Amino acid sequence: MKVILLQDVPTLGRTGEVREVKDGYAAHYLLPRGLAARATTGTLQSLQQTIRVSQARDARTLEQTAALKSRLEALVVEVTAKAGEGGRLFGSVTAQDIAEAITQKGVEVSKKQVELQDPIKAAGFYRIPVRIHPKVSAMVEVNVVGAG
């Protein structure tokens, strides 16, 4: 029996794939658990339509992401922190501080998107990756200025 997988099945395949399986496996395991649906002409056409819509949506999302990436990479974000002699900061600059500075420049970014390995503890220029999509990161110039 041909089935369309509605969910990932570890031994069989990924969501949306069409597989030929034994009738008993489909009737007693896949279909009752909602892991698959029978592959009829109607369901195959519906699957193809869903795939086309999904691909179009993904293409639009990637275009928007590319535009956002270029905006972020054009930014030079300045973060001011209290510092002592030699540019050594009192405290540190965190992902939250960088996200707030980017948001003030007009691009909404959460602290979870800022991929800062360790807090910044010295004044200077840094290139910080910002994850804007699972497949796309932008490198943002951050200028940490010591004040006081």
* CATH number reported for the structural domain that contains residue 127 in this entry: 3.10.430.100
- Beta bridge mates, 88: 122
Q: Amino acid identity of 78?
A: E
At residue 13, φ and ψ (nearest 5 deg) are: 165, -170
Q: So what's the pLDDT on residue 146? A: 86
Do residues 61 and 97 both lie within one domain? Answer: no
Indicate the number of domains in the chain.
Answer: 2
Choose among 144, 114, 111: nearest CA to 131.
114
> According to the model, what pLDDT value does residue 84 have?
83
pLDDT at 22: 96
- Contacts of 28 by beta carbon, 8 Å cutoff, 6+ apart: none
* pLDDT tens track, the chain, 148 positions: 999 999 999 999 998 899 999 999 999 999 999 999 999 999 889 888 988 998 999 899 989 999 999 999 999 999 998 888 877 888 889 999 999 999 999 999 999 999 999 999 998 999 999 999 988 999 999 999 988 6
120 close to 144: Cβ distance less than 8 angstroms? yes
Distances (CA, A) of 50 to 39, 43, 53, 56, 95: 14, 10, 5, 10, 38
Residue written as token pair 């956002």: 68
Residue 141: burial class (beta carbons within 10 Å; 0-12, 13-18, 19+): middle
> Final residue of a domain: which of 65, 91, 115?
65
Tell me, what's the pLDDT at 86? 77
For 110, the token pair is 């959460």
User: Would you say 115 and 130 are in contact if contact means Cβ atoms under 8 Å apart?
Assistant: yes
- Domain extent, residue 57, equals 2-65
State how beta strands 18-20 and 2-5 pair: antiparallel
Residue 135 is predicted with a pLDDT of 86
Instruction: Note whether 84 and 53 are same-domain residues.
Output: no
